[in-house]
Structure 1
């Protein structure tokens, strides 16, 4: 008789092995791209940084995976809008939006905790049960939906986030996004609205591995997949 625990361990080992191999391939590709181009950043080489404001939906308090949105310092949000490859205009590219959400200092057990932040990285994808896990090059980054692509570990189920352009646009940049979350392949639930305000001459480095939203964690296979590429990107960038 097959032991289910043994099957589970074998499946986890195979998944981690595949993620580790994928991480090495992504790291090698990132380093190769960095050496082949003159831009300081191998991925998302050109982008615009904006100040922004987040308006959380009233229902977030009741949802454990997004209750932390109620602690965001709403008028200190920062957003970077970019394309992954940095191809010239007129060529389809992966659209990217990185969002830094500063979190307010809250009393915890009678003591105050240190100020923290959450970094959410979005890429242009579909929004359907399968499409949300697939990158989608686009000619219209200000009109295309984006998702976090890789899931977070929630309280009981995987959690993904999405941004959907909604409202005015300027210079190919959407100025408003609807923020939503979903459990795995389930339906999207709106949890906030992001308003871009002013473009600023600033450089930002985001860390989706270290700056995880409170109440969520990264799956081991997600860390194995993406950490090597991020380390390679930082290494190449700092060597320039």
Structure 2
């Protein structure tokens, strides 16, 4: 049976291997390791709060309004409107405190599929956190859902940018248990496009910038922690990059 020291050493070796591979791929891409093609925008997050039983996460349970930075992206990326794993990243600004980062990928609404990244053509649709979170003893998933009252964000990054200029698309934020229905608690509104330099400098931390009450758990969280860290370090970006409303809003 391996000793505690041996187990820790094996975990350290695995983390080092993941970070080295992530750094190498980041250098090869000359940019982000994950979702390299994207557009960033100013935005706003409005939290309505939960009317039902509380989740124990203040960001979800309590009404609030936050300036935000929103990034729409393609994972591979494929050309134009070809199917891809689409991404929606939202940074909630809380200057001078650290921001909150929420990252979701195109997925499906049913419980058996919400933990899988699924390619699609349209930016409107269901996005899931893929990895689950722990809130006390609860296991939760976060999502961004198509807003029925929103302008259509289109089928390509160019169309999404045009939609933002015209009407400003929006998405509904929702939370669910591993098997329960999605329960809306807020809205993300997409605003004005940011420049290419601001988009390149933006660096999200989906593990370190979680709101209080949420804890990332499981192998996907471990993999994200080490791969994102290596990608940021290789790009010369910090986990707080793009965290100032003075820059992005």
TM-score (norm: length of structure 2): 0.72
How far has the Cα of 1:152 moved from its partner? 1.0
Structure 1 residue aligned with 2:181: 187
How far has the Cα of 1:78 moved from its partner? 1.0
Query: Any gaps of 5 or more consecutive residues in structure 1?
Result: 1-13, 105-113
Shift in alpha-carbon separation, 1:233–1:187, aligned structure 2, 3 A: same
Measured against aligned partners, the alpha-carbon deviations of 1:37-59 in whole angstroms (never above 9, x if no partner) come to 3x422322121111111221243
Structure 1 residue aligned with 2:209: 211
Structure 2 residue aligned with 1:152: 133
Measured against aligned partners, the alpha-carbon deviations of 1:13-43 in whole angstroms (never above 9, x if no partner) come to x9xx99x96x778656644543543x42232
Measured against aligned partners, the alpha-carbon deviations of 1:197-221 in whole angstroms (never above 9, x if no partner) come to 2112123111111111111112264
Contact kept, 8 Å, 1:60 with 1:66, in 2: the verdict is no
Shift in alpha-carbon separation, 1:200–1:157, aligned structure 2, 3 A: same
Structure 1 residue aligned with 2:193: 199
How far has the Cα of 1:128 moved from its partner? 0.7
Task: State the distance in 2 between where 1:73 and 1:176 align.
Answer: 15
How far has the Cα of 1:102 moved from its partner? 2.4
3-state SS of the aligned residue for 1:227?
A: helix
Structure 2 residue aligned with 1:168: 151
Structure 1 residue aligned with 2:73: 82
CA RMSD of aligned residues (A): 2.9
Measured against aligned partners, the alpha-carbon deviations of 1:99-134 in whole angstroms (never above 9, x if no partner) come to 111248xxxxxxxxx723210111111111111001
Task: State the distance in 1 between where 2:172 and 2:132 align.
Answer: 19
How far has the Cα of 1:236 moved from its partner? 3.2
Query: Any gaps of 5 or more consecutive residues in structure 2?
Result: 1-6, 164-168, 238-249
Report how many residues are paired: 210
Task: State the distance in 2 between where 1:231 and 1:88 align.
Answer: 27
3-state SS of the aligned residue for 1:224?
A: helix
Q: Which moved more, 1:55-64 or 1:40-49?
A: 55-64
Task: State the distance in 1 between where 2:113 and 2:17 align.
Answer: 23
Pairing partner for 2:43 from 35, 41, 52: 52
Pairing partner for 1:101 from 92, 104, 114: 92
Shift in alpha-carbon separation, 1:85–1:236, aligned structure 2, 3 A: farther
Shift in alpha-carbon separation, 1:33–1:158, aligned structure 2, 3 A: same
3-state SS of the aligned residue for 2:176?
A: strand
How far has the Cα of 1:137 moved from its partner? 0.9
Report matched runs for 1:22-61 at 5 Å.
Answer: 27=19, 30-31=22-23, 33-37=25-29, 39-59=30-50
Shift in alpha-carbon separation, 1:61–1:225, aligned structure 2, 3 A: same
